[in-house]
Amino acid sequence: MKVHWQSVAIVGVGLIGGSIGKALQARRLAERIIGVGRSAASLAEARRHGAVTETTRDLAAGVAAAELVVVTAGVAAIPGLLEAIDAAVAPGTLITDAGSTKASIVSAWERTRRTRRGRFVGGHPLAGSHRRGPAAADAGLFAGRVAIVTPAPRTPAADVEDAGGFWAVHGRRLARHHADRGR
């Protein structure tokens, strides 16, 4: 299980993405943390608050060199983002998300898993705040919290272990739930 990365891209650097970035930096788990977003102002704020080490509005450029991509955008945007990310990442790149619902996200990925470049395992950290944006990011947001990974039946065990390891280093507690159950 890998727990240190040369380069992590975080797509969406609000509260959750910013907190992931701050936690990675506080624990020295990544050399580069690339914040990817739509708003130059929000990206600048994420960098100013120490959530990321660099930023870009170019999704493909932001994820191209990453060993790990974490998608923390809104649930409705995640399937489309995963398509664009998969087209830009190096083969074998681990991809996870922080979306609160999983069935549609995981099933969209699974329909074409065999042709994918990246290795996706859905995730959902059970943490949050009433505050929003990168200024509210907190390196300790996930401490003592549960994170759920949602592999599909065809998800390789090594991918589940790698994604689970990523989430476990943030919260120390991990649960598994198959995304295709309970639809």
Tell me: the pLDDT tens digits for 139-160?
Answer: 989 888 888 999 999 999 999 9
Q: What is the DSSP string of 17-43?
A: HHHHHHHHHHTT-EEEEEEE-S-HHHH
Which residue positions in the chain have pLDDT lower than 70?
Answer: 1, 130, 171-183
- Find tokens 């996200």 and name the residue: 105
Which residue, chain included where needed, has tokens 């704020």?
45
Instruction: State residue 173's pLDDT score.
Output: 44
pLDDT the model gives residue 180: 52
Where do the domains of the chain lie, and which CATH numbers do they carry? 5-176 (3.40.50.720)
Residue 130: how many other CB atoms lie within 10 Å: 6
